[in-house]
Structure 1
Amino acid sequence: MPKIQLETIINIADINIVFNLIRSIDLHKISTKNSKEEAISGKTSGLISLNETVTWRAKHLGFTQELTSIITDFKAPTFFADEMVHGAFKSFRHEHYLELKEEKVIVKDIFHYVSPLGVLGKIADVIFLKRYMQHFLIERNKVIKDYAESGKWREVLENELL
C-alpha cells in the first residue's frame, strides 16, 4: 500500500483558519483548477464535516472520473480524515494533522491508497501514480498556504464560522 507523507509550514498563528481552508469545498475547487474538479453531489460548498460526503468530478490522467469521499474522523482544529467511498482507487485514506508551533501551523498529510487492477496497479504506482498523487497534494498545499498567509482566506471563509 503506497503512502505519501507531506509537511507544509504555514506562517500564520491561527490554526482554525488553516483547518477550515483544508476542509473547504470552495478552496478545493480553486486548488484543483488544473483537473477542473467540480463538487457534483453531497456537500458541494462550504466546510465539510464528520460523516459528510462529497462527490467530485474531475479529469485526471486524461480520463474524466468521479470520486466520492466521506469524512470519517474529525477533531477540530487538529485532525480530520477522509476516505474514498467510490472511485478509481481500490481505497484511500487521507489524514490531515495540524499543530500550532511558534506562531506557525504545521500541516502533516498522510495519504494511504491502494490502486485498482492488482499487479498492473502496483506497476502504475512505481511508474507514475505515486508521483502524480504527490504532485497533486503538493500543489493543493501551496494554494492552502498562499490563501492562509496572504489573507485571501477571507474570500473563501467569509461566510463560515471560524
Structure 2
Amino acid sequence: MPTIKHKQFIKAPVEVCFDLARNVDIHLETTAKTNEKVVDGVTGGLLEESDTVTWEATHFGIKQRLTAKVTDMKKPNEFVDIILKGAFSSFTHTHQFVKETGGTLMIDTFEYKSPFGILGVVADKLFLEKYMKRFIDTRAKKLKRIAKNNEWPIQPLGLVLEELTQNN
C-alpha cells in the first residue's frame, strides 16, 4: 500500500490553513485542472466531522466519481478523510497543521490501495503514485498561494474570536 507524505510551509496562521484545506469551494479551485465538481453531499463551505462529499473529476481522460467522508477532526490541527466509493480500493488522507514560527507546516499523508490486485500494484509503480504525488503537491502550492494572497472567502472563527478578545 503506497504512502505519500507531502509537507508545505505556508506563511499563514494554522486556523487559516486548516479552513482552506477543508473548504469545498477552495478544493474546487485548487483542482480545476481535473474539472472537479461536487455532485453529492456537502456542496460548499467548510467540511465538518462525519460530512460526506462526492467529487466528479477527470483523471487520465476518464470521468470518475469519488465519495469521501471526514472521519476525524481535531480543530485546527488535523482532519482525516477516507474513501467510501470510487476508483481506489481504499484510501486515508490525513491533513495535519503544525504551528511554526512565521506560519504553518501543512502535512498531507495519503495512504491508498489501488484496485485490481497485481495490476494495481504495477499501475502504482508505473504512473499512479507519481501522479498522486504531483496532484497533492499542486494542490498544496495553490493553497499556499491563496493563503499568501489573502484570497480565502471566510475568516476562520478562531481568528475572529482572537480579534474580538484583543479589541475589548
TM-score (norm 2): 0.91
**Counterpart Cα distance in 2 of 1:157 and 1:29:** 16
Q: Please state whether the residue corresponding to 1:128 is helix, strand or coil.
A: helix
* 2:116 matches 1:117: yes
Deviation track 1:84-104 (CA, whole Å, cap 9, x = no partner) reads 000000000000111111121
Match of 1:135 in 2: 134
* Runs of 5+ consecutive residues of structure 1 not aligned to the other structure: none
Match of 2:9 in 1: 9
Q: Is the 8 A contact 1:67 1:88 kept in 2?
A: yes
Deviation at 1:157, TM superposition (A): 2.2
Match of 1:157 in 2: 154
Q: Is the 8 A contact 1:4 1:110 kept in 2?
A: yes
Aligned length: 158
Q: Please state whether the residue corresponding to 2:136 is helix, strand or coil.
A: helix
**Counterpart Cα distance in 1 of 2:118 and 2:143:** 35
* 2:86 matches 1:84: no
Match of 1:43 in 2: 42
**Counterpart Cα distance in 2 of 1:50 and 1:17:** 18
Q: Please state whether the residue corresponding to 1:139 is helix, strand or coil.
A: helix
Deviation at 1:76, TM superposition (A): 0.3
Match of 1:126 in 2: 125
**Counterpart Cα distance in 2 of 1:64 and 1:101:** 39
* Runs of 5+ consecutive residues of structure 2 not aligned to the other structure: 159-168
**Counterpart Cα distance in 2 of 1:102 and 1:11:** 9
Which amino acid letter does the alignment assign opposite residue 58 of structure 2?
K
Deviation track 1:117-145 (CA, whole Å, cap 9, x = no partner) reads 00000000000000000100001001100
Q: Please state whether the residue corresponding to 2:87 is helix, strand or coil.
A: coil
Report the RMSD for the aligned CA atoms in angstroms.
1.0
* 2:74 matches 1:75: yes
Question: Which has more radius of gyration?
Answer: 2
Q: Is the 8 A contact 1:82 1:95 kept in 2?
A: yes
Q: Is the 8 A contact 1:21 1:157 kept in 2?
A: no
Match of 2:103 in 1: 104
Q: Percent identity?
A: 37
**Counterpart Cα distance in 2 of 1:120 and 1:157:** 44
TM-score (norm 1): 0.95
